Structure 1
Amino acid sequence: MSLRVLFVGGFQKIGKSGHVGGQAFACTSLVESDWGKTINWHLLDTMAETNQKRSFLYRLKKAIQRFAEMYRVLRKGEVDQVLIFSSAGFSFVEKGLMARMAKRYHKPVMFAPRSGLILDSMENSKWMHNYVRNTISLVDRVICQGESWQEFYQNLAGGPDEKYVVIHNWISSDPYLANVPDLSIRQSRKEMKVLFLGWINQNKGIFDLLDAAEMVRDLPIQFVVGGNGTHFEEVLKQIKDRKLEGKVDMRNWITGTDKMDVLRECDAFVLPSYREGYPNAPLEAMASGLPVIVSAISSLPDLITDGVNGYLFEPGDAGKMASIFTELAQHPEKRLQVGKAGRERVLTNNSLENATTHLQRMFSDLTK
């Protein structure tokens, strides 16, 4: 008989607003994997239709509907284990209550906190700090997106080492390898294009990127910005005010074949975020052979060795960002070298097969 698992997560590959979520990919790829096909899943979709602000009453109504569904499944004994993927804020509160409900019905709970914004929630609220600690304490396994998160959660809540399982975020690398099979084509380009993909808001460091773009105004470097969000219009205004129209190409969400095209078109990738869990975009860029320039936060230093398979800088340090852009623009052979190393890192460290192997072992341990 197949193991029956209630999986609380996000399963819409593209949200109604057009955004593509890393959490949705993570959840759906597990379910659709060869290993996932051996599991009898009950999927409980908690993915928001949009990242734009929604009323508390609207979110509460949706949460109550999900709790009712979870209660029905647990009461009827339709599942053996519970796997929960959580973001920050309201999402974490909801998922923490779900974990408590599952434990009330004596179900093993595997809990995967997947947002760097959890740190902000804890810093801004003593209640939230205690709630996160208590939630982590009561679950059976905590799926950590890197060694830094493993250390953080174990220091927060205690417990044995085996409770905290490191599973680096995963992607399917094959499409990116096929999209850019020969990395050397980028060396002959006279102009370097730097790609940003993500939400357009202050947390993603978009205004720091504009500062860095100003600093390299006179160099043959162009920026392609793909995404949308709360500061999209403000960024457009600042591009005009700073006279960066010919420097920064603002696009909306770039998905599907368009994303593959832009990954092939560009020469480097940047993500100057202040908070992250373990973002997909740098993994996709590395699999495409792009040297990545990212802020040294959360799990990114677990993934990247500075100057070897990517570049790290402190969040908010636009000057450092600009100096890395300058070095890569002046040394195309360095772009190729670092891009190749980044691709190798993702292939060995961030495969779906690695993730499913860890999960299979964890499910088996909790079945005993």
Structure 2
Amino acid sequence: MNDTPLATLLFPFERGLIDPPGGGERVLFLGAPGALHLPADFAGDMAAVQGYRPDYLALQRAGLSVTPEPEGEGYDLALVLLGRHRRENEQRLVEALKRTRPGARIAAACAKKDGGGSVRRRMVELLDLEDHASKHHGVVFWLRRPDAIETVLAALDAPESVADGYITAAGGFSDDGIDPGSALLVECLPDNLSGAVADFAAGWGYLSVAASERAPGVKSIDLYEAHHASLEAARRNMAARAPQMPARFFWQDLLGEPVNERYDVILMNPPFHRSRAAEPDMGHAMIAAAAKALKPRGRLFLVANRQLPYEESLQKHFAAQGELRRDTVFKVLWARK
């Protein structure tokens, strides 16, 4: 996630429009990017928040204090990076208001391509902004946290998202309902799935719930997901819709962290976007990870956009492979170790 408007967020500090945090001040950074480099005069005690596992690990390696969800309150400064998902943006702004002390400064930035101007105008309707600036293809605005925030929180704090009967996660994959590719994969799954199953890039758990309902031979399901909020939604969906199924939940970067368990079946709707550009290498790497995690004669079932050349990876890593179905957009592939 390297397309964050970090330079825009730091612009008012670098130009002297906002004083940097001093020693002893507590700073909350919501959406802190993995490639975080702060100005040398930032002296505050930083608490970074990042729910995307690769960025979380990068921040951890850099020696920063980082958590997947915000913790604590009474912060003196909140920095907020905003993206393309409105509900996630509003959640981050709500957290900034809740967790700072009255009078604390909040600075937030959003890329123009993600609607930075409209985000600022929305905040103007709700709060008195100190100022704003446009720089580095983004918009940054800042304000002092008011004493009374109840009205603002009521306007921003959206109810929990439920789509197609499932709890979804703001900012995660397919947060507006069941993905058509995943639905096609479920239609193609055989009824004789059995043993230990893993769901790679599980999102909010649709494939795992479907496998629990469809195949009585499934003994357990492990869900792997890099987006923390999606994994927590998957935990709740499995508890509500498949309470009889033994399930474990792994917040893990499948492209950078090894899988230690071995499975009879792996289900997968692999991601091929880190930002806006398609990156098919992500899917190739996940296929290789699935091959390592399967037992001998274990089976992989995956769905992909028709144009993605995953067959070559299946041929490389598996003894047998083929196609179950395709439509105008997707194809469902299978492979056996």
Q: TM-score, normalised by structure 1?
A: 0.33
- Structure (1/2) with the larger helix percentage: 1
Q: TM-score, normalised by structure 2?
A: 0.35
- Structure (1/2) with the larger strand percentage: 2
